[in-house]
Chains A and B, each alone.
Chain A
Amino acid sequence: MKPAFSVIFLTTLIGAGQGLFLAFYSAEWLVTLNMLPAASSDDSAQAALLAFVLMTAGLVASFFHLGHPERAWRAAAMWRTSWLSREVIALPLAMGTVLLFALLRLFDIDFHLVMLGKVALSLSTLVGFIAVLAIVALFACTAMIYASLKFLRQWHSPLTVLNFFLMGCASGFTLATLLAVAQQGGYFGYFSGMAISLTLAALVSRLASLSRNRNLRSPSTLQSAIGVHHPTIRQIAQGAMGGSFNTRAFMHSYGPSVVLLARRFFLINGFALPLLLLFLSDADSLLLCALALLLQSLGLLTERWYFFIEAEHPQNVYYQMIS
Chain B
Amino acid sequence: MTQLALVIDLNTCVGCHACVTSCKEWNASGEAGPMVDRNPYGAEPTGTFFNRVQTFEVGEFPNTQTVHFPKSCLHCEDPPCVPVCPTGASYKRPEDGIVLVDYDKCIGCEYCSWACPYGAREIDEQQKVMKKCTLCVDRIYDESLPERDRKPVCVLSCPTSARIFGDIHDPESEASLAINAAGGYQLMPEWGTEPANHYLPRRKVNITVHEEDLQRVDNPLRKEDRGPRAPSTRTTLDDSTSW
Seen from chain A, the residues whose Cβ lies within 8 Å of a Cβ on chain B are: 1, 65-69, 71-72, 74-78, 81-85, 88, 145, 148-152, 219-220, 222, 224-228, 230, 232-246, 249-250, 313-316, 318-319
Contacts and interface: CB of A to CB of B under 8 A. Distances in A.
A235 B87 CA distance: 37
B107 A224 contact: no
B84 A67 contact: no
Contact of A245 (B20, B48, B67): B48
Given A67-B128, A315-B119, A318-B54, A78 B71 contact: no
Interface in B54-81: 54-60, 66-67, 69, 71, 80
Contact of B69 (A69, A88, A226, A240): A226
Contacts of A148: 84
B185 interface: yes
Contacts of A233: 56-58
Interface residues of B, number: 64
B182 interface: no
Nearest to A84: B86
B166 interface: no
B108 A227 contact: no
Contacts of B187: 224-227
B141 interface: no
Given A67-B128, A82-B83, A152-B114, 10 more contacts: A67-B129, A77-B87, A81-B82, A82-B111, A149-B114, A151-B115, A220-B190, A228-B58, A244-B52, A245-B121
Given A149-B114, A246-B119, A241 B44 contact: yes
Nearest to A318: B119
Contacts of A222: 56
B69 A74 contact: no
A285 B185 CA distance: 66
Given A69-B107, A228-B56, A319 B84 contact: no
Contacts of A150: 80, 191
B185 to A, nearest CB: 5
Contacts of A67: 106-110, 123, 127-129
Contact of B56 (A219, A236, A246): A236
Contacts of B47: 244
Nearest to B116: A315
A152 to B, nearest CB: 7
B209 interface: no
A151 B43 CA distance: 34
B129 A68 contact: yes
B52 A238 contact: yes
Given A149-B115, A226-B69, A242 B58 contact: no
Closest 6 CB pairs of A and B: A67-B108, A67-B128, A315-B119, A239-B52, A242-B44, A81-B83
B201 interface: yes
Nearest to A78: B88
Given A226-B187, A228-B67, A233-B58, A83 B114 contact: no
Nearest to B68: A237
Contacts of A319: 119
A248 to B, nearest CB: 8
Given A68-B106, A239-B52, A315-B117, A145 B123 contact: no
A235 B56 contact: yes
B149 interface: no
Interface string B167-210: 00000000000000000011111110000000101100000000
Interface in B34-54: 38-39, 42-49, 52-54
B138 interface: no
Contacts of B114: 1, 149, 152, 313
A243 B60 CA distance: 27
Contact of B71 (A243, A314, A318): A318
